[in-house]
A and B are shown apart, each in its own frame.
Chain A
């Protein structure tokens, strides 16, 4: 069985996403993490785009929330788990929300399907009594 082991606490960062700091805190922390691990520019851009997209969803639909980024190692492979949580209204139809073209605010509607294209796993859960948790895992190619 494949086990995914998270590493030490120094390789996990979290930051609040709020209207005041927007996405700057999480972006700065994530950039520093990727730089310290010498992640190449293309995967780093993809990871930062996923973070931005999740953060943009939080700001638009819930107002505030939190994003955590954690380094993973599995069978010598390096990856990242990105978890975005908020206590907003949740997503009415999770399956529909993951399809290209779906948007609750007349946007491009490519966000969640784009994240799916760029990652290996996307898990969306509505939290009780309200809120959303989106977990994304992306493995880097060697």
Chain B
């Protein structure tokens, strides 16, 4: 089973990411998302991180890459559901995830995008 899943909510795509995501599955996620964004003409993508309990620099790097990729496809991206201990640890690691829009949860992300 892939460590991610993609759902379509009209013109918004939602990607649920699990922490087991690695270098090879991120490649498959990029391909899959690229296809779905053009097929569905998605105006926005929500990346739901609420299941992720550990975010290291490798995962942060993948998320930054994913967001840049989606910006190139003219999609708005909102990263939702980052847990408080994860956010605090990111600060300790000096990881800032620049140019990324955040929401507390998927509900907040959806209301902002609609």
**Bound CA span A113–B94, Å:** 9
Contacts between the two chains (Cβ within 8 Å), count: 66
Could you tell me if B58 and A117 are in contact, using CB atoms closer than 8 angstroms?
Answer: no
| Residues of chain A with a CB closer than 8 A to B59's CB | 52
**Chain B nearest CB, measured from A87 CB (Å):** 21
Instruction: Name the one of A22, A24, A42, A52 contacting B56, with C-beta atoms under 8 angstroms.
Output: A52
Q: Among B57, B64, B89, which residue has the most Cβ atoms of chain A within 10 A?
A: B57
Could you tell me if B57 and A110 are in contact, using CB atoms closer than 8 angstroms?
Answer: yes
| Residues of chain B with a CB closer than 8 A to A125's CB | none
Could you tell me if B56 and A49 are in contact, using CB atoms closer than 8 angstroms?
Answer: yes
Q: Does A79 make an interface contact (CB < 8 A)?
A: no
Instruction: Name the one of A52, A108, A113 contacting B54, with C-beta atoms under 8 angstroms.
Output: A52
Instruction: Name the one of A45, A100, A108, A110 contacting B85, with C-beta atoms under 8 angstroms.
Output: A45
Instruction: Name the one of A42, A60, A114 contacting B94, with C-beta atoms under 8 angstroms.
Output: A114
Could you tell me if B54 and A110 are in contact, using CB atoms closer than 8 angstroms?
Answer: no
Could you tell me if A114 and B93 are in contact, using CB atoms closer than 8 angstroms?
Answer: yes
Could you tell me if A49 and B58 are in contact, using CB atoms closer than 8 angstroms?
Answer: no
**Bound CA span A80–B46, Å:** 37
Q: Does B27 make an interface contact (CB < 8 A)?
A: no
Could you tell me if A108 and B60 are in contact, using CB atoms closer than 8 angstroms?
Answer: yes
Q: Give the B-binding residues of A (Cβ under 8 A).
A: 22, 24, 27, 41-42, 44-46, 48-49, 52-53, 56, 59-60, 100, 107-108, 110-111, 113-114, 117-118
**Pairs A–B under 8 Å by Cβ, sample size 24:** A22-B20, A27-B54, A41-B85, A42-B85, A42-B88, A45-B83, A46-B85, A49-B54, A49-B55, A49-B89, A53-B57, A56-B56, A56-B57, A59-B22, A60-B23, A108-B61, A108-B64, A110-B94, A111-B56, A111-B57, A114-B92, A117-B94, A118-B89, A118-B93
Q: Give the A-binding residues of B (Cβ under 8 A).
A: 20, 22-23, 53-61, 64, 83, 85-86, 88-89, 92-95
